[in-house]
Amino acid sequence: MSTTRDRVVAAAIELLGTEGARGLTHRRVDERAGLPEGSTSNHFRTRAALVEGASDGLVAAEMLGLRAMRVESADDLVEQSAQLIELVTGPLRVATAARHVLFLEAAHDVRLRERISASRAGYVAVVEGALRDLGAPEPERAAEALMAASEGIILHRIARGDASDPRPALAIVVRGALG
C-alpha cells in the first residue's frame, strides 16, 4: 500500500519527467497526486527537499532493478545492453527523463550530485563484472566506455526522440572492449 509520501514522490518524478524542472512545484505535485493542497509541503518543506525526495525515489527504484548480468558472449552483452536501453527509454521513459533533469540540476548542486551518483557505481560494477566474464583485458575502462556510450544513446532517445537501433553502435564498443 502506498503512503502519502510515496504518492508525493511518484508525482514529483512524473512532473520532472514530463514537464522538466520548471514543472515541479508543491502545488502541482499535490494536484498530480490527487492529494489535498499542502500535502507535499507537509512532507517536503522546501523545493530542494522535494528534489532530493524525487532523487532518492529514483535511486531506490534503480537499485531494486540492479542485478548481476549473466552474459555468455559478446552478442549476448550487446543484446542485454540494448534491451536495458529500450526499457529505460520506453516503459521507464518518464523516470529516465526525470533522472536527466535531476542530473542537470546536480551540475549546480553538490549534495544532489552525491545522491544521484550512488546508483551509477552499482551499474558500473555490474557491467564490469560482465566484461570480466567475457575476458575483457581492461574491464574497468571497458565498463566506462560501454556505460558512456549507453548513456549517450539514452540521452538522444529521450531528448531527440531518436528511435534507431542501438545494437550496431553497442557492438562496436563491445568489440573494442574485448579488444
Q: Looking at this protein, which amino acid is placed at residue 20?
A: G
Q: Looking at this protein, which amino acid is placed at residue 172?
A: I
- What are the residues whose beta carbons fall under 8 Å from the beta carbon of 130, sequence distance 6 or more? 69, 70, 71, 77, 80
- Beta carbon of residue 5, minimum distance to a copy of itself (angstroms, whole number): 24
And the C-alpha cell for 132?
570480466
Stretch 4-43 residues interacting with a copy of itself (CB under 8 A):
18-22
- Beta carbon of residue 159, minimum distance to a copy of itself (angstroms, whole number): 4
Kindly state the greatest CA–CA separation across the chain. Answer: 58
Rule CB under 8 A: choose which of 9, 106, 127, 134 binds a copy of itself.
106
- Beta carbon of residue 66, minimum distance to a copy of itself (angstroms, whole number): 18
Rule CB under 8 A: choose which of 79, 100, 126, 132 binds a copy of itself.
100
**How many CA atoms lie less than 13 Å away from 126 in the CB half-sphere?**
19
Q: Looking at this protein, which amino acid is placed at residue 174?
A: V
Q: Looking at this protein, which amino acid is placed at residue 47?
A: R
Rule CB under 8 A: choose which of 34, 135, 163, 179 binds a copy of itself.
179
Alpha carbons 39 and 103: distance in angstroms, whole number:
26
Alpha carbons 139 and 15: distance in angstroms, whole number:
37
Residue 161 lies near a copy of itself (rule: CB under 8 A) = yes
Stretch 111-150 residues interacting with a copy of itself (CB under 8 A):
113, 116-117, 120, 138, 141-142, 144-145, 147-150
Rule CB under 8 A: choose which of 14, 52, 62, 105 binds a copy of itself.
105
And the C-alpha cell for 35?
492529494
- Beta carbon of residue 38, minimum distance to a copy of itself (angstroms, whole number): 22
Alpha carbons 136 and 112: distance in angstroms, whole number:
33
- Beta carbon of residue 42, minimum distance to a copy of itself (angstroms, whole number): 23
Q: Which residues bind a copy of itself (CB under 8 A)?
A: 18-22, 97, 100-101, 103-108, 113, 116-117, 120, 138, 141-142, 144-145, 147-153, 155-156, 158-161, 164, 168-177, 179
